[in-house]
Structure 1
Amino acid sequence: MPDTCVARVPVFAGLSEEDQTAVAGRARPVHLATGEIAYAATDPTSRLLVVHTGRLKIFRLSADGSEQIVRILGPGDFTGETSILTGRPPDDYAAAMDDSQLCVFRHEDLEELVRQHPGIALRMLSTVSERLSATEQRLNALGSHDIESRLAGYLLGLRVTWLEGEGVVTLPMAKKDVASVIDASPESLSRALARLASRGLISVGEGRSVSIMQPALLQRLADGA
């Protein structure tokens, strides 16, 4: 079938090509410019948003108005499942980090799809469970690890390209957003990067490139050892 968001999403992976085409027919395409809000907390409607191209950041707002990034979504990822399952408005925000194309399902359309294909609901619940587990691990790290340990764990969690024994990662977002993810200020993040580099664990390259020089020691740091 054509390259659609439905074909990319794991929760729809078990459907036949014919059923995937039918599901795609229920999706409403939505284009977002960089920085545009996909939904806001307390929006009255319940929708499932699937990323076809681009990226979305899911975030909450603190009392002082600053953003706390919860996760970053790329092609094939989805959000809004909690509102769909409970019928309640969202309690977070979603905004486009790049020029993005989404497929949007209304609450009633997704309910009909789940009735026709119960496996969709099971795979969706599995994804939600994985997210909850990741959130618990993150909260544990925030409570028990210092910023350098949190940064080490974050770097090791990125996609690594190995070149002659060195792992090269590219930060997927601006450093201020990385700081938000690991619950640090941009200044604290910059100091932590410098300290890890001074210890020979990493090397900070141009732009968003970071080389992992000693992965075993970096992993020990991430584990709080």
Structure 2
Amino acid sequence: SKCVVCDVRNFVLFAGLSVNELNTILQPIDNLHVPQHSTLYEQGEPAPHLFTVRSGLIKLKIDLPSGSERIVRLLRPGDVAGMETLVGERYHHTAIALQTADVCRIPRDVVIGLDQTNSRVHQALLRRWQNSVDQADHFITALSTGPAEARMARLLITLGCTGDQPETLPSREDMGALLGITTETASRTMAEFKRRGLIHADRGGEVVCDHAGLAILANS
């Protein structure tokens, strides 16, 4: 395991553990490379592991009875997937890499054992769980309500599109699923943003955003 030198160690579940604790307790952790569009785990599958995101972007989606899907959360470096395994035996969502990602795969039993022996980790787990709930609420309220342009602006800001550096964005289909709009509406909205100078795309698919302009739209 590379937990001792991990760049996101201070943001994930085991922040605050000493080097000795990491070396003796966290040996079962694996580092996984998840290619873009690959599935990390599926809704309803047995859930023996949690995952911390080291790089990339992962979506959590649920399959609806109608046959459609709803993206309920985006995970970025430092976020944790599969927290529900601590209180159940199956995953509540399907996790798919929107961008190529690197994750740490942590056995459920390791985390439960730490919960019983290390109060710092126990408190960190509770905070992570609450953060997950808060983030899901944010998606429901901020990204699923209001005009399509306002939703898209909020999404771009959520993805970290600050204008400081190029960002690789999800597909228009994924944007539509995130925002509860059609793929066509997502495409038209992004084309309009480009026409108005709110985003600038290069040939590699990355974009630079006008953060101030997006913020005005996001609050409309």
SS in 2 for 1:57: strand
Tell me the distance in 2 between the aligned counterparts of 1:44 and 1:177.
Answer: 26
Tell me the distance in 1 between the aligned counterparts of 2:104 and 2:44.
Answer: 21
SS in 1 for 2:5: coil
Tell me the distance in 1 between the aligned counterparts of 2:12 and 2:207.
Answer: 29
User: Contact 1:41/1:91 (CA < 8 Å) preserved in 2?
Assistant: yes
Tell me the distance in 2 between the aligned counterparts of 1:143 and 1:52.
Answer: 27
Matched, 1:155 2:156: yes
Letter in 2 for 1:133: D
Q: Aligned residues, how many?
A: 216
TM-score of the pair, normalised by structure 1? 0.79
- In the TM superposition, residue 116 of structure 1 has moved relative to its aligned partner by 1.7
Matched, 1:172 2:173: no
Q: Residue in 2 aligned with 1:204?
A: 200
The structure-2 alpha-carbon separation of the partners of 1:54 and 1:8, relative to structure 1 and needing over 3 Å to count, comes to farther
The structure-2 alpha-carbon separation of the partners of 1:192 and 1:160, relative to structure 1 and needing over 3 Å to count, comes to closer
Following superposition of structure 1 onto structure 2, how do residues 61-76 of structure 1 map, counting pairs within 5 Å?
Answer: 61-76=63-78
- In the TM superposition, residue 112 of structure 1 has moved relative to its aligned partner by 0.7
Q: Residue in 2 aligned with 1:41?
A: 43
Q: Residue in 2 aligned with 1:112?
A: 113
Tell me the distance in 2 between the aligned counterparts of 1:9 and 1:54.
Answer: 15
User: Contact 1:56/1:94 (CA < 8 Å) preserved in 2?
Assistant: yes
The structure-2 alpha-carbon separation of the partners of 1:218 and 1:7, relative to structure 1 and needing over 3 Å to count, comes to closer
User: Contact 1:152/1:222 (CA < 8 Å) preserved in 2?
Assistant: yes
- Extract unaligned runs of 5+ from structure 2: none
- In the TM superposition, residue 103 of structure 1 has moved relative to its aligned partner by 2.7
1:59 paired residue among 38, 53, 61: 61
Matched, 1:91 2:92: yes
The structure-2 alpha-carbon separation of the partners of 1:5 and 1:71, relative to structure 1 and needing over 3 Å to count, comes to farther
SS in 2 for 1:104: strand
The structure-2 alpha-carbon separation of the partners of 1:168 and 1:151, relative to structure 1 and needing over 3 Å to count, comes to farther
Q: Residue in 2 aligned with 1:218?
A: 214
The CA deviation string for residues 203-224 of structure 1, in whole angstroms up to 9 with x for no partner, is: 3322231431x71x53232122
- Extract unaligned runs of 5+ from structure 1: none
SS in 2 for 1:11: coil
Tell me the distance in 1 between the aligned counterparts of 2:100 and 2:165.
Answer: 26
Matched, 1:132 2:133: yes
Tell me the distance in 2 between the aligned counterparts of 1:36 and 1:73.
Answer: 14
The structure-2 alpha-carbon separation of the partners of 1:19 and 1:9, relative to structure 1 and needing over 3 Å to count, comes to farther
The CA deviation string for residues 50-95 of structure 1, in whole angstroms up to 9 with x for no partner, is: 23454432211233444322233344322111121x1241221112
User: Contact 1:4/1:24 (CA < 8 Å) preserved in 2?
Assistant: no
SS in 1 for 2:199: strand
- In the TM superposition, residue 202 of structure 1 has moved relative to its aligned partner by 0.7
TM-score of the pair, normalised by structure 2? 0.80
Identical counterparts, % of pairs: 22
User: Contact 1:60/1:92 (CA < 8 Å) preserved in 2?
Assistant: yes
- In the TM superposition, residue 24 of structure 1 has moved relative to its aligned partner by 2.7
Tell me the distance in 1 between the aligned counterparts of 2:40 and 2:170.
Answer: 18
Root mean square deviation, CA, Å? 2.9
User: Contact 1:6/1:20 (CA < 8 Å) preserved in 2?
Assistant: no
Point out the structure with max Rg over C-alpha.
1
